[in-house]
Amino acid sequence: MKMPQEVYIVEVGPRDGLQNIEQFLETEKKVQLIKLLAQSGLRRIEATSFVHPKAIPQFRDAKEIISGILGLKDVQFSALVPNLVGAKNALESGVKELAFVFSISESHNKNNVNRTREESVQELEKILSLKKENPDMKVRVSLSTVFGCPFEGKVKEEEILRYIGRVKDLGATTITLSDTVGYGNPKQVRQIIKSCLNQFPSITFGVHFHNTRGLGLANALVCLEEGIMIFDSSIGGLGGCPFAPGATGNISTEDLVFMLDEMGIRTGVNIELLFEASRFLQNNLKDIPLSSHLFKAGPPKGWSYVCTTL
């Protein structure tokens, strides 16, 4: 199997990692966390979410977060948006890349964004139309519950492919396939990835795995073997959907980077600097332990790290 020589990591910790915790992390600390992540070499960071504060109070400071990081160079920031209002607010704040989310599962979509799937597709069409007035705008579509739903269980492959087709027909070119509650297994993931790549060769696919049942990195490895080059991960392994029962953390950025580095796959991330972000986050979260195995165990004895840049 021919795996990629380099991988692009989308750091989602400041958004997905923080959205499910009760403690409000102060705006200046969120900004500092993002700066530390950028210092480590992470070049794609999902910084916040433009949602109604009643839905996710953690991001009532979304505009202030963006204001605090706009001056950072060589980093591509994105923000999650569930609807047209969120998209407009994000663009007005200076965000250039929007991550629009909806679920393959009807039940989860209603719980997560209070819309049917068809209503979300219509909302995406409206958001994509904003490109006429915002030519620099990019939209990455994140499809949730691709590998299983906490309300409906298994998701049919034909439904996945059908909604990818709907998104493609609207003009989207980048799609992230998300395992929202960590139901995916390597055999299933390989089959779905193969089908998506075969049927939609013009789409750039990324993946987003949660490690709820301990299979996150195994699923990521399968995707590597199929040629996927874009991986979401979260600093410290934090994360989880507030509207999906049982959802817990994403695959850890530290663990993912360590695995890739040891396999000789370039990430451009310096683990020693990444640890500074991990320590900062752990020191500012009360009674919330990070789940990253590498952060807890530390590097192997006698191990030295040399950063390989993209």
Q: Give me the active site residues, please.
A: 241
CB-based contact 89:62 (threshold 8 Å): yes
Is the alpha carbon torsion for 34, 35, 36, 41 positive or negative? positive
Q: Which of 98, 124, 118, 83 is nearest to 46 (CA)?
A: 98
Rounded CA-CA distance 231/208 in Å is 6
CB-based contact 179:223 (threshold 8 Å): no
Structure tokens at 163: 């909604």
**CA 99 to the chain's CA centroid:** 9
Q: Which amino acid is at 298?
A: G
Q: CB within 8 A of 50, min separation 6: which ones?
A: 59, 62, 79, 80, 81, 86, 87, 89, 90, 93, 95
DSSP, res 16: I
Helix (H, G, I), strand (E, B) or coil at 158: helix
Helix (H, G, I), strand (E, B) or coil at 143: strand
Rounded CA-CA distance 34/135 in Å is 26
Report CA-CA distances (Å) from 277 to 157, 280, 286: 38, 5, 16
CB-based contact 99:234 (threshold 8 Å): no
